[in-house]
Amino acid sequence: MPNVFITGADRGLGLSLCKEYLNRGWRVFAGKYMEDFALLESLAHPALHVIKLDIGCMKSIAAAKEAVLKVTNSLDMIVSNAALMGDVNCELYKPPMDLEIPWDYFRINALGTIKLVETLLPIMDQGEMKRLCFVSSEAGSITLMKHRGAHPFPYSMSKAAMNMGVRMLHNQLYKDGYSFRIIHPGWMKFRKQDGNLEESGRFDPDYIGQWAAKYFETPRADEHRLAMVDYREYDWPF
Amino acid sequence: MIGHFRGDNMKNVLITGINSDFDNCLAKKFMAEGYDVFILEDGKTLGVEKLDFFIDTTDYVHENDGSSVREGVNWDAVEATFRNNPLKSMALLEAHLPLLDAGEEKRLFYLTQSRASINETESTTGYGYNMSKTALHMFIHLSRNKLAPLGYTFRVFDPLTGIVDAKAAAESAFTYITRRRGTDGDDGLRDDEDNLVIWDALGRKHSW
């Protein structure tokens, strides 16, 4: 039974990916952050292991590793999906900018992502697939940002920084047998506590989750190439 | 302000700090060319009504930011780097924007290194520097989207420290900062100012 660790599994794409991999016969370690969401537990699957995880906290990441080791000494895949997002007041011409806001975005979306991989790397080394998957965004594409109007700083900056971190992981770990996936999942509807979807957003996370689970799992002919793709598997520039 | 060096060409240049030989050579070059040069010190006000050139020399490298994920990244060094490279630059621009709005040139200059290009880097260490500069690159793009319609232009530069002599790099930077980039009349599609790039001291363009 292959093992996957999925962050941000409380709702949305993370939750959908948990369902997908459980249905595909994987053991799923699901990082849970939101105490007031019980959608994950409601899956009630024997191969599901819910682990408390604050991706912005180094101690929490270390504790998650210990929780995995109580069950298995090998992981095949990490899906880094947890992210801080939303409207924030951090703009030029609206002084003073609260610089703790972008710092929180960096800490969670960029640094926490790389720290998680660093921490779980010894367990991943024991796995067969060695696949590292990251949920990024077109909002982190520096190249295409020239076409966007005024846009909040923190989220885009943090996703661009995360993409750099993944590039550096790729530089080192590809030669060790690791393969990588980066996706721009598109604008998904939020799933509410009652399990229903909000109106705003374009995609049902279950629809994106079905595609992403397959994309993450399926070998590519060009594994040596680090690429960010959307649900159509179109390439996006960094 | 720790230094105000009066020139005669009526253009004000703010240099946010002198932290390297390159910064020092660039400041001297602006002075030699007759610019009014202001060098910033924390907590001091400039005492001017406008700024024309904004030279952000923030380029923080932590001595312990040299480990890979196999060796163990020093996350305190990474945080210190992030609190300088993008965050200090964000605060500096916000603080001086009113003076730049009143200036004529409205040209902003930032330092980086080509190893902080996602497309080009071969680094396996230096997570703090590379990731923080990538965040800065995005900040520059987002700022450009906001400020270019107001007449602002941007320069992003790699002085190639250790490869190109600091004085020669400063000469390259001075030309890059003060010279307008090419345009073919009123054809907006052929105006290189619209093409935000990283240039290095040898005149090479790098992708983001």
Asked if B115 reaches chain A (Cβ–Cβ under 8 Å), the answer is: no
Q: d(Cα B23, Cα B169) in Å, to the nearest integer?
A: 10
Asked if A153 reaches chain B (Cβ–Cβ under 8 Å), the answer is: yes
DSSP E strand boundaries for chain A:
3-6, 27-32, 48-52, 77-80, 131-135, 179-184, 228-230, 235-236
- Three-state DSSP class for residue B150: helix
For residue B1, the model assigns a pLDDT of 46
Q: Tell me the residues of chain B between 155 and 194 that have a Cβ less than 8 Å away from chain A.
A: none
Please name which of B112, B186, B91, B190 lies closest in space to residue B154, comparing C-alpha atoms.
B112
Please name which of A70, A73, A209, A236 lies closest in space to residue A140, comparing C-alpha atoms.
A236
Contacts of residue B64, defined as CB under 8 A and 6 or more positions apart, other chains included, come to B74, B76, B77
* Rama region for A212: left / alpha / beta (φ>0; ψ in -120 to 50; rest): alpha
Contact B139 A148 (CB under 8 A): no
Interface test with chain A among B92, B129, B134, B198, by most A beta carbons within 10 Å: B134
Six-digit token pair at A7? 């962050």
With contact defined as beta carbons under 8 Å apart, do B64 and B77 qualify?
A: yes
**Which position has the higher pLDDT, B2 or B68?**
B68
Per-residue pLDDT for chain A (238 aa), expressed as one digit of tens each?
Answer: 999 999 999 999 999 999 999 999 999 999 999 988 889 999 999 999 999 999 999 999 999 999 999 999 999 999 999 999 887 888 888 888 899 999 999 999 999 999 999 999 999 999 999 999 999 999 999 999 876 666 679 999 999 999 999 999 999 999 999 999 999 999 888 888 888 888 888 899 999 999 999 999 999 999 999 999 999 999 999 9
Q: Tell me the residues of chain A between 10 and 29 that have a Cβ less than 8 Å away from chain B.
A: none
Q: d(Cα A83, Cα A113) in Å, to the nearest integer?
A: 9
Q: Rounded to the nearest 10 degrees, what angle do helices B75-84 and B127-147 cross at?
A: 20
Q: d(Cα B92, Cα B95) in Å, to the nearest integer?
A: 5
pLDDT digits (tens, 9 = 90+) for B141-173: 999 999 999 999 999 999 999 999 999 999 999
Entry pTM: 0.95
Nearest by CB to residue B75, choosing from A97, A115, A161, is: A115
List the Cα angle B146/A158/B108 in 5-degree steps: 35
ipTM value > 0.90: yes
For chain B, the average pLDDT equals 93
Contact B144 A102 (CB under 8 A): no
Dihedral of the alpha carbons of B133, B139, B141, B144, in degrees to the nearest 10: -130
Contact A238 B118 (CB under 8 A): yes
What DSSP line would sit under A27-95, residue for residue?
EEEEEE--TT--TTGGG--TTEEEEE--TT-HHHHHHHHHHHHTT-S--SEEEE-----S-----TTSS
Distance from CA of B37 to the nearest CA of A (A): 25
Q: d(Cα B38, Cα B7) in Å, to the nearest integer?
A: 11
Six-digit token pair at B1? 């302000």
For residue A150, the model assigns a pLDDT of 61
Nearest by CB to residue B208, choosing from A95, A110, A143, is: A143
pLDDT digits (tens, 9 = 90+) for B96-153: 999 999 999 999 999 999 999 999 999 999 999 999 999 999 999 999 999 999 999 9
Please name which of B42, B41, B48, B43 lies closest in space to residue B6, comparing C-alpha atoms.
B48
Please name which of B182, B177, B205, B204 lies closest in space to residue B192, comparing C-alpha atoms.
B182
- Chain A hits for B90, CB-CB cut-off 8 Å, are 97, 99, 102, 153
Mean pLDDT of B9-38: 95
Six-digit token pair at B142? 């987002």
Contact A168 B123 (CB under 8 A): yes
3-state class percentages of chain B: helix first, strand second, coil last, to nearest 5: 40, 20, 40
Mean pLDDT of B54-76: 97
For residue A53, the model assigns a pLDDT of 97
With contact defined as beta carbons under 8 Å apart, do A136 and A228 qualify?
A: yes
What percent of chain B is predicted at pLDDT more than 70? 97
